[in-house]
Amino acid sequence: MQHVYWTSSYDKKRSKGFTVIDRKRARSAFDTYVKKYDPSNPRIALKIDHTLRVTELCECIASANKLDPDLAWLCGLLHDIGRFEQVRRFDTFNDARSVPHAALGVEVLFGNADPHGPQIRSFVDEGEDDLLRTAIATHSSYRLPTNLDDRTRAYCNVLRDADKVDIIKVNCVCPIEDIYGVSKNDMESSAISPEVEAIFYEHRTIPRGIRTFPADILVGHLCFAWELVFPISRQILMEQGHLEQMLSRHFLDPATQQTFEAMAHHMRTWLFGEESTHMDERLQRQLSFALELDKEKNILRQTHLSGHGRRENDAEHAWHMAIISWLMREYANEPIDIARVMLMCLIHDVVEIDAGDTYAYDEAALKTQAAREEAAKQRIFGLLPDDQATELMALFEEFEAYQTPESKFAHAMDNLQPVLLNSSNEGSDWREHGVNANQVYGRQRKTALGSERLFADVIAPIIEEHISRGNIKG
């Protein structure tokens, strides 16, 4: 296999007798190793996904700095190998409650417990053991040892940068409970300790030992941005938008919120410079909202996909509604602005990111729906620049008010879409929840306010069919 290596002062010593890194072999060894830890376990899957993203980041950062991308990639693949054994032995990813996962990774890879030899030989031949051992052992250390040679330090910094960038991403794409071990409410109600705030403004990372409150851990992850070594790492961080999403977090306590907003402004100023902070803030807030919308994909509804598929999520429901509204616009009772209807459809369930899905026939949940969704509306749309936040909040409120031709037709789509899916699945969702005819007609008669034709020719016949078949109780 022919390998082309980047040349730099760090890698001159590899020009002769270097170790060829076979990525296919290494990845196969990784897959074999993690298989025994049950990759279907969400916590194990989280670490596998994190590891694979870190390998890509390592390769990118190394290439930008004329380091060997294959060696950097391998550092990324091996860096968290100790996490899997950690969760098996201790049922936690918390080093303080178990053992340091980096040291455990070194033990797994270079220890002599396996009679067939060190586990590292499954991944790569001898030649880079010292560098790999050091990179793995120090990737989560507060500081690198001062006695490292330049080459080893360079690869350690590549790995540490990649790990930090992806940990910031994990903060935004994974549930708070999985990352911090606390509930969402605990995080939003948290204070920020004065010691952590002081270190933040010193542009240092936060030592684990002084973290007191849940928000201290969040601030600690934000502080990773201060110590990224390579410019490309900071560029990737900014382009991904996850740091801005973290900086837009909301806290319930006014004092904590004020403290955090000041910290966020300070970090944005550092990232973008004094003159560009205001100009870039609009774009960053838009990107933060865009990423927040992705969470709709995690909100599962009671309706199943056609063909007896899995439960659909809110994003799929909203997209389907928007397309159906365009297709069926000729059946609206009144002239409508179809673009306005489609946008209304796309945002009408955004609040469920916080409030959760409320089943149409769950009487108890319906009583608290308005209060839950009002709080969610303020937080989620509040991520946007003020003018766009005002516009989308007004559109959401128009939908909820049910007064304009557009909102009535959008509600008709909200009613029609799940009926079509439910009917295609032989009424299984109605049957599962024991829904009766009065409940279905009570909701679906409102469809006629937006489209009498669709109610009379589509919905009413479907309801009657499923009443006769016993899927809807008479």
Go through the domains of the chain in sequence order and give each one's CATH number.
1-170 (1.10.3210), 175-272 (no CATH), 300-468 (1.10.3210.10)
Closest CA to 295 of 414, 165, 176, 164: 176
Give CA–CA dist 10/42, Å, rounded: 39
Token pair for 24: 């296919």
For the beta carbon of residue 177, count every other beta carbon within 10 angstroms: 12
d(CA 112, CA 243): 41
Query: Which H or E element spans position 60?
Result: helix 42-64
Distance CA 179, CA 36 (A): 23
Q: What are phi and psi of 356, to 5 degrees?
A: 80, 165
Residue with tokens 């403290």: 259
| Digitized pLDDT (tens) for each residue of the chain, 474 residues in all | 233 333 344 444 444 444 689 999 999 999 999 999 988 888 899 899 999 999 999 999 999 999 999 999 999 999 999 999 998 899 888 888 899 999 999 999 999 766 665 799 999 999 999 999 999 999 999 889 989 999 999 999 999 999 999 999 998 888 888 777 788 899 999 999 999 999 999 998 998 889 999 999 999 999 999 999 999 999 999 889 899 989 998 999 999 999 999 999 999 888 876 444 444 678 888 888 898 898 899 888 889 999 888 999 999 999 999 999 999 999 999 999 999 999 999 999 999 988 777 665 566 666 677 777 787 888 889 888 888 999 999 999 999 999 999 999 999 999 999 999 999 999 888 898 888 989 889 888 899 999 999 999 999 999 999 999 999 987
The structure tokens listed for 292 are: 């927040």
pTM: 0.59
pLDDT digits (tens, 9 = 90+) for 439-456: 889 888 899 999 999 999
- What confidence score (pLDDT) does residue 366 get? 62
CA distance 108 to 324: 55
Give kind and range of the element (H or E) at residue 89. Answer: helix 81-90
pLDDT of residue 243: 92
Among 86, 227, 92, which residue's Cα sits nearest to residue 168?
227
Angle of the 460-468 helix axis to the 405-424 helix axis, nearest 10 = 30
Rg value, the chain, Cα:
27
User: Do the beta carbons of residue 449 and residue 402 sit within 8 Å?
Assistant: yes
Altogether, the residues listed in the chain come to a count of 474
What pLDDT does 10 receive? 43
- The CA distances from residue 379 to 50, 102, 172, 232, in Å, are 28, 38, 16, 32
Q: What is the DSSP string of 310-331?
A: SEEEHHHHHHHHHHHHHHTGGG
Find tokens 């049922």 and name the residue: 91
Cβ proximity of 208 and 96 under 8 Å: yes
Per the CB < 8 A criterion, the answer to whether 78 and 55 are in contact is: no
